[in-house]
């Protein structure tokens, strides 16, 4: 069953009759976020992590279980004291949709409430004009609903990650030339009717860092910088387990460091150029990723350029954000990410044989397409997790 709904511009949206979702309090969101990042947790662990009393946690757990957001497992011994029940999220409570709009690629993901990937559609898109993208997303949505049999009314929202920065005028974003048809428009309003749910839009680095926070390295590192290596270069910042977007939504635009220093950007478009010049001609970043070979001469030349450039960015991040880790993610092939991590040198201060602690540089751990997966996590995180 569907209903019609007018958005703020008066346009009629065809949206399925919504499921009535529980609106959690901040304390409930903290508890849900803790379980989400850990996968499972006992009441005793939650009590310690949230600095609450056992009765307070017990009331939160009882309420969330009654609403169907969490499941209580059998009580198990956990050191001294009474056995404690293991808590997990109810994967079927709600679902999140994620979309990535990159320069030459389009992806859509569907995840369940526990963060498990249920469906993915992805393809290279040399033509990223609005009609082509909307048609492909509509086809993806129909295919997804048929294959997963998920009730569309239980899809809570959609997140969308775009290779672009915010211009400081509400939701308007400024993408590269390949996404020219999406420049300086309300992207959420354009996509709502096709996706059939409320839409939130953010830049690709921010949403990828959200996915990494909940499903990747963020499970071990509460504060980290995410480097989004793709056709361009950007990223995100997570501090104490929460994404930090900045005043205008553009925190993580690390490429500005290179711009200020006159350093050419060693992104994947630069890698494609080097590979095409020295190994084999490749017409797009997507084609290069699919055929990637670590033995390419172009890959070695790119690492020679990228090592010093990324060392500058990593040093700046370490000095300003003082985070635990720097995560290399985006569309960079994993073998190349590992080789780049080995070349990054972060400048520090060694005084009295007690150097300033520096972040570790690691490969991204969240599975699959970083942006579409992160966007799907974002769609649920905004409503349920802290």
Residues of the domain holding 177: 93-210+371-384
Query: Domain boundary residue among 43, 69, 89?
Result: 89
CB atoms within 10 A of CB 322: 13
Are 202 and 261 in a shared domain? no
Residue 8 lies inside a defined structural domain of this protein: no
In this prediction the pTM is 0.88
Residue 11 lies inside a defined structural domain of this protein: no
Residue 79 zone, left/alpha/beta (φ > 0; ψ -120 to 50; rest): left
pLDDT in tens, the chain (386 residues): 344 444 444 444 444 556 789 999 999 999 999 999 899 999 999 999 998 999 999 999 999 999 999 999 876 665 566 667 799 999 999 999 999 998 889 999 999 999 999 999 999 998 999 999 999 999 999 999 999 999 999 999 999 999 999 999 999 999 999 999 999 999 999 999 999 999 999 999 999 999 999 999 999 999 999 999 999 999 999 999 889 999 999 999 999 999 999 999 999 999 999 999 999 999 999 999 999 999 999 999 999 999 999 999 999 999 999 999 999 999 999 999 999 999 999 999 888 989 999 999 999 999 888 999 999 999 999 999 99
Q: Is 167 exposed, middle or buried (0-12, 13-18, 19+ CB in 10 A)?
A: middle
Contact 343, 176 (CB under 8 A): no
We report the CATH number of the domain holding residue 49 as: 1.10.10.10
Q: Which residues contact 265 (CB under 8 A, 6 or more apart)?
A: 232, 233, 255, 258, 309
Are 156 and 199 in a shared domain? yes
We report the CATH number of the domain holding residue 182 as: 3.30.420.40
Contact 318, 348 (CB under 8 A): yes
Write out the H or E segment, with its range, that includes residue 233.
Answer: strand 233-239
Are 114 and 80 in a shared domain? no
**How would DSSP label each residue in 245-307?**
--SSS-TT-THHHHHHHT----SHHHHHHHHHHHT---SSHHHHHHH--TT-HHHHHHHHHHH
Contact 278, 235 (CB under 8 A): no
Domain count, the chain: 3
Residue 351 zone, left/alpha/beta (φ > 0; ψ -120 to 50; rest): beta
Are 67 and 121 in a shared domain? no
Q: Which residues contact 371 (CB under 8 A, 6 or more apart)?
A: 98, 100, 102, 107, 161, 204, 207, 208, 211, 228, 330
Residue 21 lies inside a defined structural domain of this protein: no
Q: Which two tokens stand for residue 319?
A: 């000095």
Contact 104, 284 (CB under 8 A): yes
Please give the radius of gyration of the chain, using alpha carbons only, rounded to the nearest integer. 22
């Amino acid at each position: 069953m569907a209903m019609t709904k007018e958005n703020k511009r008066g346009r009629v949206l065809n949206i399925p009759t919504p499921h009535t979702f529980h609106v959690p309090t901040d304390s409930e969101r903290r508890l849900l976020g803790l379980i989400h990042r850990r996968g499972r947790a006992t009441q005793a662990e939650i009590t310690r992590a949230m600095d609450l009393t056992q009765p307070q946690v017990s009331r939160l757990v009882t309420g969330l279980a009654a609403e169907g957001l969490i499941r209580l497992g059998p009580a198990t011994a956990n050191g001294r004291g009474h056995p404690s029940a293991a808590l997990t999220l109810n994967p079927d409570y709600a679902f999140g949709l994620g979309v990535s709009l990159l320069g030459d690629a389009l992806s859509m993901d569907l995840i369940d409430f526990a963060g498990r990937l249920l469906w993915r559609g992805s393809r290279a898109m040399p033509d990223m004009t609005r009609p082509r993208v909307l048609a492909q997303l509509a086809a993806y949505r129909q295919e997804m609903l048929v294959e997963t049999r998920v009730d569309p009314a239980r899809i809570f929202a959609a997140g969308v990650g775009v290779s672009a920065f915010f211009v400081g005028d509400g939701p308007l974003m400024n993408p590269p030339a390949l996404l020219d048809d999406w420049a300086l428009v309300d992207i959420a309003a354009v996509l709502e009717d096709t996706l059939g749910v409320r839409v939130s839009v953010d830049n690709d680095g921010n949403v990828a860092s959200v996915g990494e926070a909940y499903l990747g390295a963020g499970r071990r590192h509460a504060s980290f910088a995410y480097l989004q290596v793709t056709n361009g270069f950007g990223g995100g910042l997570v501090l104490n387990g929460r994404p930090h977007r900045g005043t205008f939504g553009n925190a993580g635009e690390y490429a500005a460091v290179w711009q200020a220093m006159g350093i050419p950007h060693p992104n994947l478009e630069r890698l494609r150029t080097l590979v095409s010049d020295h190994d084999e001609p490749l017409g797009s970043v997507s084609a290069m990723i699919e055929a990637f070979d670590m033995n390419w001469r172009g890959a070695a030349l790119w690492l020679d350029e990228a090592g010093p450039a990324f060392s500058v960015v990593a040093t700046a991040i370490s000095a300003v954000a003082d985070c635990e880790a720097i995560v290399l993610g985006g569309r960079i092939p994993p073998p190349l990410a590992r080789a780049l991590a080995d070349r990054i040198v972060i400048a520090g201060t060694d005084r009295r044989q007690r150097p300033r602690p520096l972040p570790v540089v690691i490969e991204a751990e969240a599975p699959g397409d970083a942006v579409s997966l992160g966007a799907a996590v974002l769609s649920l995180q905004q409503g349920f997790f802290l």
